[in-house]
Structure 1
């Protein structure tokens, strides 16, 4: 759940992890999940369907997003949107004065500016075992998204892979070589990295 601590803002859990203050209850887990899923979809995949108009870089007026959420859910308030955006565990959203966008994961056509973040030498990608043959021949391609998503840790990659396979395989990506060879790898959110394409030569299967 999300609570509001008077000193430290929106926090996850039963109390503030900094001061242990219980604060004020804002959203339970069910409504948080529903609202987060809708906001992600609206900013990544179906803005037109909910009356939003993204600019070329994926930004939309924050007030417009709040209006779309409140039209979707009769119980929703601005405070709820603020809380979901502020506490998203993967950093899916970027907010600036008066505007918001999804940090990554778009299927609609937007251009995200490059970042200057340091890229780890190795990144990871979780996938269904049935895809291994095609990946070994063609590499990693976006498959409905604008870019390939890579994870900073094996655990995160495996979690992503479980969306497609109960027993996914984790691929190790030689991110250092990708960057040295001129492919742009950008950090998006907390632990997600994006790249246009990963050729097979940069991939190995994690030993289990």
Structure 2
């Protein structure tokens, strides 16, 4: 009974997101009400009491609850009553400031080329920094928060659409947003004096004494002398035996 009760609770929560307020959770459905299953799970896992939810729980809802109000079209999901969703319309009087996040590694590119869609067809913008950062952390653990100057973007010809608490656009030009300064790049450590090998200057008519080679030569000479001495002693003993 507990399992079935938990499934019904989860099913109602998913229906609320998919059929009523996807914008509240930073989700932007397409024209047919679909969102990515992966994006939905990321949003659900952020909510207290639903951090345990995985893909198989959604499959269990569809197979176990005959009155389930969700349907899947891989890799997308939507509510069956998606007609209740708020409509995406052109924002006539948008707020002066909106917020979005970009990947930390892409920040340098964004500063030069503007904000482009990540994993979707639109640049997703929110009314609050908190929601923007929540969305940003779904694709980067340390996203860069940017402030979009809406009126300046509209003067540059950018059109904004709204869906509840979310806004979106095709692109945000580099001159229409602000953000923190670029993080300082780590400088490569300079080699220490011990690591730097001094260059040897050659003078005309000079040569370099290879100490190791000289030592090896001396050792070979010693061995040769010992062998000669041993051979001489052997010959001496042989001669003495013949004599006596």
Return the TM-score normalized by structure 2: 0.45
CA contact (8 A) 1:126 1:159 kept: no
Deviation for aligned residue 1:177: 1.1
For residues 56-109 of structure 1, what are the alpha-carbon distances to aligned partners after superposition, in whole Å with 9 as ceiling and x for unaligned? xxxxxxxxxxxxx9997122354x539xxxxxxxxxx899xx8628769xxxxx
2:8 counterpart of 1:27: yes
2:92 counterpart of 1:81: no
Structure index of larger Rg:
2
Match of 1:44 in 2: 34
2:195 counterpart of 1:195: no
- Counterpart CA distance in 2 for 1:99 and 1:152 is 23
Deviation for aligned residue 1:119: 0.5
- Counterpart CA distance in 1 for 2:90 and 2:8 is 32
- Counterpart CA distance in 1 for 2:119 and 2:99 is 19
CA contact (8 A) 2:114 2:172 kept: yes
Match of 2:96 in 1: 121
For residues 97-154 of structure 1, what are the alpha-carbon distances to aligned partners after superposition, in whole Å with 9 as ceiling and x for unaligned? x8628769xxxxxxx6x43452010101122211101111211112342211111111
More helix by share: 2
- Counterpart CA distance in 2 for 1:157 and 1:145 is 15
CA contact (8 A) 2:33 2:79 kept: no
List gaps (5 residues or longer) in structure 2: 1-5, 20-28, 37-57, 71-77, 182-244
CA contact (8 A) 1:135 1:200 kept: yes
Q: Secondary structure of 2:152's match? A: helix
Q: Secondary structure of 2:171's match? A: coil
- Counterpart CA distance in 2 for 1:116 and 1:165 is 28
For residues 145-181 of structure 1, what are the alpha-carbon distances to aligned partners after superposition, in whole Å with 9 as ceiling and x for unaligned? 2211111111111111111222222001011111233
- Counterpart CA distance in 2 for 1:100 and 1:164 is 29
2:151 counterpart of 1:176: yes
2:88 counterpart of 1:100: no
Return the TM-score normalized by structure 1: 0.51
Q: Secondary structure of 2:65's match? A: coil
Deviates more, 1:191-200 or 1:139-148: 139-148
CA contact (8 A) 2:7 2:61 kept: no
- Counterpart CA distance in 2 for 1:77 and 1:200 is 50
CA contact (8 A) 1:117 1:187 kept: no
Cα root mean square deviation, aligned: 4.2
List gaps (5 residues or longer) in structure 1: 1-24, 47-68, 83-92, 105-111
- Counterpart CA distance in 1 for 2:64 and 2:18 is 14
More strand by share: 1
Match of 2:226 in 1: none
Q: Secondary structure of 1:187's match? A: strand
- Counterpart CA distance in 1 for 2:61 and 2:17 is 12
